[in-house]
């Protein structure tokens, strides 16, 4: 498990795994929503961890995988749950 880090530090570490900040923001928002709706975390957590911290750690530790299938349609899929990106999101 990663040591306590600030959101900025976590974002920077996760940026090494994700090709751009826009995609990172979308992945973060979608995965946080999944966790809030009952999805199980893919990393060890503590009661004090925020959902955002959990998602950053999932990305940093390589536990969260996604496939960018946007090409001409705007869709990104996560391995655990299908997530579509469109203008209504």
For the segment 3-60, what is each residue's pLDDT rounded down to a tens digit?
A: 567 888 998 999 998 888 888 998 999 999 999 999 999 999 999 999 999 999 999 9
56, 13 Cβ separation under 8 angstroms: yes
Q: pLDDT confidence of 66, banded at 50, 70, 90?
A: confident
Nearest to 4 by CA among 64, 46, 41: 46
User: How far apart, in whole angstroms, are the C-alpha atoms of residue 68 and residue 23?
Assistant: 9
Domains annotated for the chain, with CATH where assigned, are 7-64 (3.90.940.10)
Contacts 24+ apart (CB under 8 A), 11-14: 11/56, 13/56, 13/60, 14/56, 14/59, 14/60
Query: Does 2 or 27 have the greater pLDDT score?
Result: 27
């Amino acid at each position: 498990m990663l040591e306590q880090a600030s959101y900025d530090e976590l974002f920077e570490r996760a940026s090494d795994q994700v090709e751009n900040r826009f995609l990172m923001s979308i992945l973060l928002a979608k995965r946080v929503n999944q966790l809030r709706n009952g999805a199980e975390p893919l990393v060890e957590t503590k009661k004090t961890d925020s959902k955002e911290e959990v998602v950053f750690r999932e990305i940093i530790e390589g536990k969260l995988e996604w496939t960018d299938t946007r090409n001409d349609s705007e869709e990104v899929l996560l391995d655990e749950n299908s997530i579509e990106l469109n203008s209504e999101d």
